[in-house]
Amino acid sequence: MIDERLLDDVDALGRVDARDALLALASAGARVRTSLRAAEEAGLSGLRPEGRPRAVLIAGHGSAATAGDVVEAFCDNVCQVAVLRPGSGEDAGPEWTLPGWAGPSDLLVAVATDGEVPGLVRLVERAYGRGCSLVVIAPPHSHLGQAALQVRALPLPYVPAAETDERRPLHEDADLPREDPGDFWGVLTPLLALALRLGLVTGGPQTLQGVADRLDEAAVRCRPSAAAYDNPAKTLAVQLGASLPLLWSNGPCGTATAGRFAAMLADHAGRAALTGVLPEAMAAQRGLFTGTLGAGSADPDDFFRDRVEDDAGLRIHVLLLRHRPGAPEEDGTHDVIAEPPADHLPDSDSVGTRRTVARARRLAADHQVALRELVSVRADPVEALAELVALTDFAAVYLGLAAERT
């Protein structure tokens, strides 16, 4: 359960937001512009690639790995892209393994928000020994940033968020570190800029500027002072407050958004969520509809069943995340459309996609399970991602702030 009254109390939101998560999300657009400018000044604007690498390996953890997933989703088979996540290392810290086939035809991108990760430094050194091309995204004066210079990597600076005040908690569990929600954009911006430069992701010079503009627009729509009925992020937080979200996606934009939203719900709202790609998700998660979490699991003909008990339990809630370009602009802007079904949009989907989405809607309706669609109609898929991620990021933070703790 969540305290819905808190969502419309700006002062109360400010008091409980001890980590300034809402401020970090509101400044995400500025973070993108600053990070892009820093990457260009560091030499990215002068990069003249000769062809594409055979494979791109993106190594990191937390927001860095999630950002790598986004790039992997958007590369659209231009070349092989793999995200390397850590395992247990010999010094009890995270350790990354370089694939045995990696060599001079491949590119390794090591990404870290603090740069003090010995496992990544060792990975970069091993890749250098194999002859891989190297790019390092890290704070310039960190160990990883200095290692980049020693192995002749292209160093792209990670730009941290500015500290706002002294209200951040002084004591944190070292085994459970929490990242600033804006760190995602701090690492994704140089990653996307590099991918655009290498021709791995479709887009032009203004793509990331458009991303920053979309984040600014979302910050206005989802601001704390906007009433819940007029704030799509607060509305989404309320709808998911007493449910287990099933984050279903269709296409790379929706899939990347679902992964990010699941991570944000876990980190900032303390909520579990399940992701799935259509149509496989309908079969893989079928038991959730027919089991006790499905709203239609109780016999509707049982006159003596406890209806209060039915309403009080945890229920699944399907959130369908999609990119459906082609809708006409209204007043020069596009908004994320959040009303199911989205049939009033121009039909830019394939026949297979239309049938799959119709099946998902029918499955939810047949089992009396709530389903909501978040659809971006932007023509540019990267801008569509920014729109969807911004909304769901705000929703996750609002849900965490308004959670009732007993």
| pLDDT tens digits, 16-44 | 998 899 999 999 999 999 999 999 999 99
Specify whether 282 is located in the same domain as 398. Answer: yes
pLDDT band at 334 (very low <50, low <70, confident <90, very high): very low
Query: What's the whole-model pTM score?
Result: 0.89
pLDDT(316) > 80: yes
| Mean pLDDT of the 151-162 span | 91
Residue 344 sits in a domain whose CATH number is 3.40.50.10490
| pLDDT of 210 | 96
What is the number of structural domains in the chain?
A: 2
- Within its chain, how far is the Cα of 384 from the centroid? 12
pLDDT(225) > 70: yes
Structural domain contains residue 221: no
pLDDT band at 333 (very low <50, low <70, confident <90, very high): very low
Specify whether 196 is located in the same domain as 262. Answer: no
pLDDT(13) > 70: yes
pLDDT band at 171 (very low <50, low <70, confident <90, very high): very low
Specify whether 163 is located in the same domain as 250. Answer: no
For the four alpha carbons of 194, 198, 201 and 204, in that order, the dihedral sign comes to positive
DSSP string, 154-209: EEEE--PPPP--S-S-S---TTS----TTHHHHHHHHHHHHHHHHTSS---TTHHH
Specify whether 250 is located in the same domain as 335. Answer: yes
Specify whether 194 is located in the same domain as 279. Answer: no
- Give the model confidence (pLDDT) of 254-274 as tens digits: 999 999 999 999 999 999 999
Residues with Cβ within 8 Å of residue 85, at least 6 apart in sequence: 61, 65, 96
